[in-house]
Every structure is written in structure tokens, then in C-alpha cells.
Structure 1
């Protein structure tokens, strides 16, 4: 079965409440377990669901739960998944929603796999997306930062700036909300956000370095026409490589990347390559590897790359 785009997948979601007496085949397939329940009244063919990447399945669950609410809104991480905003993919995580009352329903009325947030919204903070009421881009970032902290907040903030949002506009929206729990974290995320990030994993690495007060690094600094992800102490380059990214690249592109790395190595730069999974599951180990390489270089003074170009962009 060929990979379907998100809009094609949305068309396959069935509303069990809308089934008629004539939908005998669908009812039989439901009884036989050939559909997966994304929400209490929304199902997807199991064969399709089993082939989905976890992040795509999460986004479809967010849509299905949103469609199953009369007045509620999908918020925070789930709102980000609806629009493709960068998040740390917490596969199988709950879908966060908020009710117009600002409160939470009784236990008997709560949907499984859903977390109800006590939040209120101005009319201009809500939009319709894929038929679901959800928060705007900026409000989605604000909720992620205040509910889930600095690391996830800076990932969402970087996404906003990378897509053309202005820092002043984001700050204006933050202050329009008045006082709220987590506002300080939101403001710190905005202060440290950059438009240079190209993936959530670059943003995650930046967040860790900032949060742990690591110094002596630059982000996306241009070196002789190349722009490594991170540069430490003017010699150590950290590159974040996605396995899927390499699967999609042609031999010609990969050859150019090897030539690029060889050119920088010949100038005296040292490379460390990590996968996104390393950053999510083994961040302490990654940081220890970086620190060991830096300490080893400090023990050999005078080994900085010769004729290294000065910084052109990005800084700690």
C-alpha cells in the first residue's frame, strides 16, 4: 500500500455515529476488529493505521478527538501535531483539549486518552483546522511552553521564527494573556528562540546547552561556505543526522556531504555525529562525549584549526 498524505488519511476516518443501517460491511468490519478507534466515535481501517508513523497516528488521533467534541478545542502538543509544528514526539501520548467553560468534565464524561486543561481563550486565539477547533500558532506555542517547560517551548518557538513570525508579535500575544502560570518560562523561550533552526532536534540540543549553562558553542556558524549545526571551541563540530533523512538523499548529495566533511577535517575540525534518538534517550552521554573531546583539546594547546574563518552567524 502506497504512503498516503495526511489529507487522504483524514478522508478514511469514519464517524460511527453516522453509520446507517445499510453500512453492513463497515459494521461487520468493526465487529471483526478491522478498524482502530482513534476516538470514541471515530475509527480508521486497522490496515492503514498499522502502517502509520507514530507522529502521524498521534496527529490523526488529535483530529478524531477534536471532531468528537461539540465545543472544545484541541490545545498544546496536539494542536501542534495538527499543523506540523515541531514537538518532541511522545508516541502514544495523551491529546490535550480545553472546554469553553474553562473547566474539566466529570469523570464519567471524559474521553479516554485525553487530558483536559483548565484554560480560557479569546475568540482570536482559536481557529478551525481540519474541521477541528484548535488554538492559533502562537497560542499553541505558549501552551506548550507553559505546560511542558523550556525544552519543548523553545522547539515550538524556533518553529514560529523559522516560519516568519516576528519576535515582537509573539511577545505581544504573550502579554495580551495577562498573568498566568508559566509566563516566565514562555518569555525565556521567546528570548532564546532563533530562526536558524532547521529541525526540532537542533532546537532540542540548543535548549539543553542553554539550560545546562554550557558555554563556548555557536549554532549554525558559517565556516568557509559550510554551516555545521554546532561548533564548540572553534574546532569541534556536532552534526545531527536523521536516519530517514539519509534514506531520502541521493548518492550525489551524500557525496557532496562527504566532501564537505573532508574539507573541514583537513582544516583541523573534529566531527561528532549523533542521531535524534541519541538526543532524546541519551542526552547525558552526548554531552559527556562533547566535554571529553573539549578537555582532550584543552590538554593540547595550540591545536585550534589554522586559518579558521571568523563567525558569520549564530552564537551561544
Structure 2
């Protein structure tokens, strides 16, 4: 490959247009050969990325973000990235959408249509809601979270709103984002998602776990509850009364070689068992929720398990959190200005 072409691709975040390639000296035949031999991957008409770049990107964020950048290159008029595409550009963890559309918005009367994998939205927004990320105009976190809630519903909306709060957006900004949306489709889901948002949820899994607890009707969930144990301070994902709910992901039990974070899988599992026993010894009942518990028939089963565990905790230790645990948690939070890492 001509080093000038390689440099141009690197300077444009992995993208190159046909026009730019021709300007740098490639012939139309060479471009066709690169595509025919699958050395370049076409993302939009006349916009490509090297096959090795595409292969290295994950399917949940990396590829959708590159597709969004390609769509921006192909667009004319005043489009900005929005919804899921804006979240990817801003580094906001969200639920992956089934449709996989690139989302773009420009000012206009509320309307939307889909064409060639891009969902175009006409909607009002304020100039101060537009940021630039890598030279690309993007709607800010608060507006993005509210748009995701309108587009995909409360589950996705809670995850997005939690993510926005965690990244520094305020609840007032989230509320202000939907003020202009009085009669827009999905605005009820946006309002409810903002009302239920909590920056204490450190991952989408924890956001969904809190939603599951609310659906179970076992009480108001508190996030990031600290407990002083014989093994040190344990930060529990969610608490209701004397019942703590831990949202377990597979990454912490997967080896580094397989893309996880565990140096020793057996040791990671054993440490988690000891931690759970130490938390239980302080007068708490521990439940565990995995990702599959949020969907389909597993969700109803998870709700029943949470209700049963809550009834056990209430019967053994009382409905209200003991003054001792409450006072300890308050002291620990004062001592630790930052919450534990996820």
C-alpha cells in the first residue's frame, strides 16, 4: 500500500473515500482490486476501511461507531450524530440495539425515516447541545440518553440515563432535554427513565438489576452499599433492607486469555465465595443476578427469587436496615469520596 494512503486512512480514523484514494494516486482499477480481494471493506458508497481495521473492531461499539463516521462523511446539510451513534462516539455504555442503525438528526419538524442502514431524524435541538468528538458533531449526553429512551423504551433508557449521569450530566440537564418533547413519540418512556436514573449503577448490568428490583416490588433500591467485613470493605451493587443483590458478569470469571479479567479463574470464584460469606455474616441475605435473568422467561424466575430472598431477609433481620449497618455505611462513604471500581 502506498504510505500516503495508509497515512490518510490513519488520519481519518480508519476511513478513506474513493475520491481521496484517487487524489493520492491510486487508479480506479487498484481501488476495485482492493475491494474485490477484500482488502478494503465498503461501509458506504465510495467510503472504505481496511479489512484488518474492521476485523479488530468489536461488533457492539467499534463497528457501529465506524459506520456512523462513514455515514457522516457521506452526508450533506447539517446532520449530527444522535441516539445510539452519539452514545458510541461519547463513550457511553448502552444496551446494544437489535436494528444496528446509524442515527443522525437535523433540525426540523419531528419525523424519522430509514434509508441504507441510517435512521434519519428531524427534531429540534439547541446549539449548546451539540459537541464535537473527533471533528464529528454529536448531540450531548443528556439529549442522547433521552433520545435513546424515546427510541428504545425504558430498559434502554434507564441504562443510557444512568450512563449519562455517571459521566457528569446532571438530572436537571436530563429533565431539560425532554421539556421540548411534549408530544414527541416515546416521551413518556424518556420521563420515566430520567425519574428512575441513578449514577450509582456502574454498568448496564447494574442498571438493569435495579430495574428488576423495582419490578419485583421489594422496596426502594440503594446502589453501592458498603459493608465492613472481616475481609475488608465490600461494596454491594444494590440493597433493599437487609437484602443485597449482586449483578454478576462473566468477565470477572473469564481468563485473560479468553478476553476476561481473571488472572486465575479458580481463585476468582473462590474469592467471590468468601466475599459473599463475609457479607452474609454481617446480617445480610445475598442474591445474585446474571445477564440472562433480565430477559424472557428467566426474568419472571428472577423476580420470584428476589421476592423470596427479600421475605427471608425481612423475617430474619427486620424490614428496616439495622442502625449499626446504616451508621457504618455512612462513615465508609465519608471516608471514601470515590466509589469502588466496577
Task: Please indicate, yes or no, whether the TM-score normalized by the shorter chain is above 0.5.
Answer: yes
Deviation at 1:92, TM superposition (A): 5.7
2:216–2:306 CA contact under 8 A, matched in 1: no
Q: Does 1:276 align with 2:291?
A: yes
Residue 316 of structure 2, aligned match among 296, 299, 302:
302
Residues 38 and 308 of structure 1: CA distance in aligned 2, closer, same or farther (over 3 Å): farther
Deviation at 1:277, TM superposition (A): 4.4
Residues 301 and 183 of structure 1: CA distance in aligned 2, closer, same or farther (over 3 Å): closer
RMSD: 3.5
Residue 303 of structure 2, aligned match among 278, 284, 287:
287
| Structure 2 CA distance for aligned equivalents of residues 92 and 50 of structure 1 | 20
Residues 274 and 206 of structure 1: CA distance in aligned 2, closer, same or farther (over 3 Å): closer
Q: Does 1:63 align with 2:78?
A: no
- Give unmatched runs, 5+ long, in structure 1: 1-6
Give the paired residue count: 301
| Structure 1 CA distance for aligned equivalents of residues 181 and 52 of structure 2 | 47
Deviation at 1:137, TM superposition (A): 1.6
1:260: which partner in 2? 275
Residue 204 of structure 2, aligned match among 176, 193, 200:
200
Residue 234 of structure 1, aligned match among 242, 250, 255:
242
Q: Does 1:53 align with 2:23?
A: no
| Structure 1 CA distance for aligned equivalents of residues 97 and 181 of structure 2 | 30
1:99–1:119 CA contact under 8 A, matched in 2: yes
2:336: which partner in 1? none
Deviation at 1:199, TM superposition (A): 0.6
| Structure 2 CA distance for aligned equivalents of residues 205 and 223 of structure 1 | 19
1:4: which partner in 2? none
| Structure 2 CA distance for aligned equivalents of residues 160 and 147 of structure 1 | 16
Residue 125 of structure 2, aligned match among 115, 121, 126:
121
Deviation at 1:283, TM superposition (A): 2.9
1:243: which partner in 2? 250
Residues 307 and 185 of structure 1: CA distance in aligned 2, closer, same or farther (over 3 Å): closer
Q: Report 1:1-316 matches (<5 A).
A: 11-20=13-22, 22-24=25-27, 25-55=30-60, 56-71=62-77, 72-90=79-97, 93-102=100-109, 111-175=115-179, 177=180, 179-181=182-184, 182-211=186-215, 213-215=217-219, 217-224=221-228, 225-235=233-243, 237-246=244-253, 247-250=260-263, 254=268, 257-267=272-282, 269-280=284-295, 282-294=298-310, 297=312, 301-302=315-316, 309-310=325-326, 312=329
| Structure 2 CA distance for aligned equivalents of residues 140 and 249 of structure 1 | 33
2:215–2:303 CA contact under 8 A, matched in 1: no
1:230–1:238 CA contact under 8 A, matched in 2: yes
Match of 2:66, SS? helix
2:80–2:138 CA contact under 8 A, matched in 1: yes
- Give unmatched runs, 5+ long, in structure 2: 1-8, 254-259, 334-342
| Structure 1 CA distance for aligned equivalents of residues 148 and 119 of structure 2 | 14
Deviation at 1:259, TM superposition (A): 3.9
| Structure 2 CA distance for aligned equivalents of residues 179 and 217 of structure 1 | 29
Cα deviation, 1:232-257, whole Å, max 9, x if unaligned, reads 4514x322232234422445994765
Q: Which moved more, 1:85-94 or 1:53-62?
A: 85-94
TM-score, normalization by structure 2: 0.73
Residues 251 and 158 of structure 1: CA distance in aligned 2, closer, same or farther (over 3 Å): same
| Structure 2 CA distance for aligned equivalents of residues 171 and 27 of structure 1 | 50
Where relative contact order (Cα < 8 A, 6+ residues apart) is larger, the structure is 1
Residues 280 and 131 of structure 1: CA distance in aligned 2, closer, same or farther (over 3 Å): farther
Match of 1:86, SS? coil
Structure with the higher fraction of residues in strand conformation: 2
1:154–1:190 CA contact under 8 A, matched in 2: yes
